[in-house]
Structure formats: C-alpha cells, structure tokens
Chains A and B, each alone.
Chain A
Amino acid sequence: MKSLETRLRALRDSGRKALVPYFMGGLTPDWIQHVEAAVHAGADAVEIGIPFSDPMMDGVVIQEAALRALRADTTLDSICADLEALSNSVPLIAMTYFNIFHHYGLERSAGKLQASGVSGAIVPDLALEEADEWIAACDQHDVATVLLVAPSTTPDRVRRLGQATQGFAYASARMAVTGRSGGAGDAARVVQSIREVTTVPTYIGIGISSEEQAKEASGIGDGVIVGSALVQIILDGGGAGEVESFVRSYRAAIDG
C-alpha cells in the first residue's frame, strides 16, 4: 500500500473527516505560504494544481488561475522547486492534465513528484483504460494514483475504479467541471457505490463551495475537497490570512 493511503486510512480510522484544499501552484509568488496557512488552519492534505493550457475539466476560476500561473512561467519543475520550502508535513497530491506528465516523461514525472514530497497524483483526463503506464511509473516512486468516480460511472466501472484507485477514491458530486456550485448533488449515491467495492477512503469534490455544502458532504464521505471557492479568494487578491480564515471556517463547519 502506498504511504498516502496508509496515512489517509489512519486519518479516517481516527474518526476525523479530511479537509483537502486545492491550490494552483505558482499562482502568486507566495503561493507556498498559502499552502502553509491552510495546513496551519487544519487542512489534512493539500492538492497542488500544475497549470495546463487546456484544462478540460475546469471551470472559469481554475482556468483563470492556470492562465495566470502560466504567465508567471510556472512549470512542473518550478512548482517542485517551490515545494522544497514547505515546512509542514501533510500529504501533497498533484493535480494536472496528462500532457504535462506525458511531455515530461512518465517515469521522470513520478520520480520528480516523489523527490518533492508529493505522494499522490490526480490526472482527470487519464481514463482508467489509458492509465497502465502511468500507474506503473507511480508504483516505482510511491506516488498514489487517485481515480475519479462520476455520477455517470456504470457499476462495472465503479468496481474497476474502486479496485484501482490508490490513496483515496475521488467521488465527483456532480456532472460538471470544477467551480459550479451546488453542493453534494449525487455524492451520496456515488459514495455508496464506491463503498460497496472498496474500503479505500472516499472524498467528495466538484461543487463544494460553501461551509454548509462542505459539512453536508463530510457527512456522506470521508473527506471533502474544496477548490474553486478557495482559488477565487486568491484570484481576488487574498493572501495567507484570508486563506487561513477560509480553511478555519470550513474546518469548523466540518467538525462542528
């Protein structure tokens, strides 16, 4: 079992619901401080977006963040270099599109992630059927390959995805790209279908953009992923202080 999964299983078994904020790597020069602020405020793991020019699964907020990060010359290498300054120790999970790793080299990408303290990767456009080589590369470097299950996923696919996912299963709450608010949506059904086939922790994302929605989703799954709502704050000029109070209030909503 990959170390990410060992940690996230232990977290679940301790009775704590995971809160996983998403940051776009390189969005601002001080983005690492945002990550630290989130950890300080009670994040249990952090997703690090690596910007791609054509983010097919992202709505306008993360598209804009990717564009800004790219304009600031952000690359896989620059993000990994920035991560060296990170002093905390919650699990880090990279999120990007397959072309970034394909171009960098699969084996080399996985090695780079591991060397930078990243223990998981989410590649939303890499369908399970195309993922063998990537999973094999990640297996060499203790990087967990986290797979998504969507409301449209058929039962036979849930079984295969549930068996193949590592670290946690990413339950998509809605049929939508990131950044469309709306709460837990189909999450209960999706989580239920995943739990029938695997004991891996199940986190809910896509559509969670308020404390109430986070609370609702954490009552269904083992954790909650919050992306666009947080990234919007940074796009609007918010700094580490705003990030900290954002995460703190989500933490309180989930725990309360």
Chain B
Amino acid sequence: MTDPPYMSSPDQRGRFGNFGGRFVPEALMPACLELESAFVDAWADSTFVEEYHRVLRDFAGRPTPVTPLERLSDKLGIRLFAKREDLAHTGSHKINNVIGQTLLTKRMGKHRVIAETGAGQHGVATATAAARLGLECTVYMGEVDTVRQVLNVFRMELLGATVVPVTSGSKTLKDAVNEAMREWVTCVEDTHYCLGSVMGPHPFPWMVREFQSIIGHEALRQMREHGVDTPDAVVACVGGGSNAAGIFAGFANTSARLIGVEAAGGAAVVSGSPGVLHGMRSLLIQDEFGQIEEAHSISAGLDYPGIGPEHAHLAEIGRAEYYPIGDEDVLDALALLSELEGIIPALESAHAVAWIAREAGRSLPTGSSVLLNLSGRGDKDVAQVRAMLRGES
C-alpha cells in the first residue's frame, strides 16, 4: 500500500489521483463553484454539522445498528456483521446524503431541488428530505425504472414531489442523470441538483462521500463494541458507490480489505476503461469509439455504466478491490439472508451478500470477520422478486 491517509480530500481540481474533476458546460460551472464553496464553508461550521447530526438522529433514526448475523455466520464459517442502513428512514443509506444536501440547499438560499433516481430510493429520500424542509422537488427517473419501481413513484408523489419519466437513451439511471443535468442548466439560480451518489462533477463525489461517511464512522465504533477491533473485510455493493464510499471511509486507514461488489452488467472497474461522463473522469463501460454502453442489472440501483471517481482511484492504487456478481446469484442471496436472518435486503445490497456467500472459505478465510454494508431493505423489490421467482419476468 502507498501513502496513507486514504480517502482524504480531492485536490484543487476535484481529482482523486487520475479521476474526478469537473467536466461540465460553462453554464453549470458557476453553480458547481458556488456549491463547492458553500459545502466547504458549511462542513467547517459546527452549527451546520450539529444540525446535520441532529436531523440524522431525530428524523432519520441514526445511528443504525450493527447486527451480528449469527446463523449466516455459522453457515458460512465466518464472523459476519451487518451495518443496518436498511433501518434508516426511507429504507436505505440514501437519506444520509439528502439530509446533508437539503440542509445545504436551504443554506444557499435555494428553494427547490431536482434529483435523478434509479431504483427510486434516492428519489424517495430526496422527496422526503424536501418535504421536511418545505423545498419543491422534481425527480427524473428513467421510464423503464418507473415501471420496475412503480411503488416508489407513488411514494415520491405522496411526498409531494413531481416525478418526470425520462424517455431518452436507455431510459434508465444514466439517462435520468443526463436529463437532470439538462434541467439544472435552466433553473440553476434557484434550484440545487441533489445528486444521489459519489459521482458527477466536483464537489459532488467528495461531498456525497462526506455526507455518507457517517456510516463508516459509526460502524468502526460499533464493531469495537462487538469485540472486533478491525474487521478483516468490509463489503458493500456499488452502483455509483455512495454506500460503499460511506462505509469505506471509516476503515480506509485500517488494515481491513475494502471490497466493492458491482452488478456484472454494469461492472465499471472490471469491464470499464477511463472516460468522461456526467461531469467526471472515471471508469466507464463504453465501446471502442467512446460511446457509453447501457448497463444491465436485475437491480435498478446498480444499473449504471460508471463508478464514482474515488472508487476508480482506490481501485487503481489497489486500496480497494471490486468484483462483479451476476443477476443469477442475487436472488439466492436475497433468500439466504431473508430465511436465515429475518432481513429482506434490497436487490442492490443482495449483491454484496452474494459475494460474501461465494467467497466465504475462499478469499474470505474461515473464521475471518466481515462487515457487510446492508445498504437498503428489500420492500421495494418484493413485487419484482416475486415475479422473477414465479418465472414471470
């Protein structure tokens, strides 16, 4: 390993090593610069930080527990623990980020947020946080995803948000990001773009990681309470990479292996190459001409052809490892955790479970201690899972 500390701030241009930066149209540059200085200012202001922590406690239900998964541990021959982001308000880690960004929106004097969403979790979280603060909220969602996650569309509407189906391109997450960026250009004066993962132009990858790092900081302390000073491995699923970045942040400067699990149909680290998309230089799945390919995954939240730039950097320097898991292993993993532990995971999180189940006794030696980031609960997916198990789709 080379020069710790890992996961510190990006450089002046928003680079993590060779990745990151700010590849946006001039029209958006002033907003990105304004956001950067607002975030730097807020994050150094104890009043803001205290309010962020207070809202996470009183509204979002933090800290979320770390649960020893005893029966699954027995079955796999390892000591497995789960950080329970599924128990955070709205059912996933996405709430941590949106609490931070909506508080920042208010602080910047803006009264409206827009967001992209894939599975709908970030959209629901944004709509929730916006409702709490009285902000207007519009969510862009690929048309394909509005069908796959129809209940989340309804949730957002109940929360007072407007959901705009995106019909361009592959009609999934990447197109929802494109559309949100296009919209942002027209309303940047009074509207904040509440990006949902550690991606996009600087300062988003850094800011979102900071807002999510509460996961890792809590988990480090909680693992110690469970008698594990440093787990041997920390495992999280990776779409854009926000839940992974959040938990990695607590362990980056320990001896723990950091493992990100990508959907095989959107595995930017394994199958991607360097490119520029959505305001960042990162690893992307693209063809030989630099056209971005469509990702394919059972889980809408991992259906993204790229990865956050800090993950690309952590992969390049060898501090974190990234592996793909195919759709076929995900349903088994979901059933396993449900039946043995009484926890129905989100399809996204089930990717991490599947990797652990596969590697226990192999690259996760018998007896090793493993921390799983259970990024979300599976309620949003049960209709889809039911249809798949019945062979209907």
Contact = CB atoms under 8 A, between A and B. Distances in A.
Contact of A56 (B178, B187, B189, B274): B178
Interface string B258-296: 000000000000000011111101001010011110000
B24 interface: yes
A251 B24 CA distance: 33
A154 interface: yes
Interface residues of A, number: 43
- Contact-size category for B: 35 or more
Interface string A83-120: 00000000000000111101110000000000000000
Contact of B25 (A57, A75, A104, A161): A57
B286 A99 contact: yes
A75 B27 CA distance: 27
Given A54-B178, A102-B275, A176 B185 contact: yes
Interface string A112-130: 0000000000001111111
A177 B168 CA distance: 14
B365 interface: no
Interface string B349-380: 00000000000000000000000000000000
B126 to A, nearest CB: 20
Interface stretch (A5-13, A143-151, A222-230, A234-242): A143-151
Contact of B278 (A56, A58, A128): A56
B26 interface: yes
Contact of B174 (A54, A99, A102): A54
A23 B30 CA distance: 29
A146 to B, nearest CB: 12
Given A99-B290, A148-B26, A152-B31, 9 more contacts: A53-B292, A56-B178, A63-B168, A97-B276, A98-B276, A102-B274, A150-B25, A153-B30, A175-B27
Interface of A: 52-60, 63, 67, 70, 75-76, 97-100, 102-104, 124-130, 147-154, 157, 161, 172, 175-177, 180
22 contacts: A53-B291, A54-B169, A54-B278, A56-B182, A57-B185, A58-B182, A99-B290, A103-B289, A124-B25, A125-B276, A127-B23, A127-B26, A129-B21, A130-B21, A150-B25, A152-B27, A152-B30, A152-B31, A153-B27, A153-B29, A175-B27, A175-B188
Interface of B: 13, 21-31, 168-169, 174-175, 178, 181-182, 185-189, 274-279, 281, 284, 286, 289-292
Nearest 10 Cβ contacts at the A-B interface? A103-B290, A150-B27, A53-B291, A99-B276, A53-B292, A99-B290, A177-B182, A148-B26, A150-B26, A98-B276
